[in-house]
Amino acid sequence: MGLGGVARLALRARDVRAVPARVVRPAAVAFALYVGGASALLVRLHGDADARPFLWLGLAVLGLDVTARAFRPVAGRLPVTRALWALACVAGLFSAAFLAVERTEAEFLAGIGL
């Protein structure tokens, strides 16, 4: 669906070079860098734990934002469709966070019972 949205944006755009600017927003890149970078920096400053889960989460946030923006033209304008689209984005973010923690050694979570 995301690729279909990008194709639809490319067909609508007068200049194909404008398509990435409609899908990738600078604020989203900055937020993803903040989530990944600042969190990893805090982990390193407060101990010798593994910062990779936060770096993976930052990349996942950026990937999900790009996918969500690409999916938007295909989703339609119905409120039900928009709600399902938002729910899929939230589920994707939780899945990415779970995989980031599962695939790395997040022993710092043992202190809070996880």
pLDDT in tens, 64-99: 888 888 777 677 778 888 888 889 889 999 998 888
Length of the chain, please? Answer: 114
109 touches 61 (CB < 8 A) = no
Which pTM was predicted?
0.74
Going by pLDDT thresholds of 50, 70 and 90, the confidence category of residue 1 is low
- Enter the tokens of residue 96: 């990415």
Residue 31: pLDDT over 90: yes
Considering only residues 42 and 3, tell me which one the structure prediction assigns the higher pLDDT.
42
Q: Helix 52-75 and helix 2-12: axis angle, to 10°?
A: 60
- Please give the pLDDT value at position 32: 93
Going from N- to C-terminal start, the domains of the chain cover: 2-112
CA nearest to 63, candidates 29, 21, 40, 88: 29
Q: Helix 26-33 and helix 52-75: axis angle, to 10°?
A: 160
